[in-house]
A and B are shown apart, each in its own frame.
Chain A
Amino acid sequence: QVQLVESGGDLVKPGGSLRLSCAASGFTFSDYYMSWIRQAPGTGLEWVSFIRNDGDDIYYADSVKGRFTISRDNAKNSLYLQMDSLRGDDTAVYYCARGHGQLEAWGQGTLVTVSS
């Protein structure tokens, strides 16, 4: 079965950095676009970024452009999100998901808290 497992969430100070990972299994990872979606506490969903299966098509939300970098390693079935210059409004649960249109499968999420 399709499984996505995020890791790397933590408490970090404003201006700090963090790298999230998502380990995929149960499907041919290299065949799919992958996305990061976030959900701030008690609020709705925001699409953060997506990356094409070959890594050549990448999208970022304006709110993270220039600060976050999405990448993938198809040999390791893994998706990453490097987050720099973190701000308080980046505090959220970060989900990785399969797809870039409808999101067919989601991980359980990893919590990123940005606070001094």
Chain B
Amino acid sequence: GIQVEQSPPDLILQEGANSTLRCNFSDSVNNLQWFHQNPWGQLINLFYIPSGTKQNGRLSATTVATERYSLLYISSSQTTDSGVYFCAVDNYGQNFVFGPGTRLSVLP
């Protein structure tokens, strides 16, 4: 089945810093989503982005489907950005395959 890798596994930032999270996948996909999991376990939708570029406030994402990777950019990070960020892909099946996540800690 499709493999999903995320890097870095852990990231510690000072408030106000920028960061880039990466998701690599091993096969073509027809769906890719980025999620933020808060400390209570809720998965919050950030982007639905099987290809192209999207922006939402301080967050933006780019997926280059032909090269099998996606990037999530966080600018001017805030302490509330802390948590685990997951990339999940669907390669024409019925289910999402999640990456292992990037754990982000933003320090005040």
Chains A and B bind each other = no
B residues contacting A by CB (< 8 A) are none
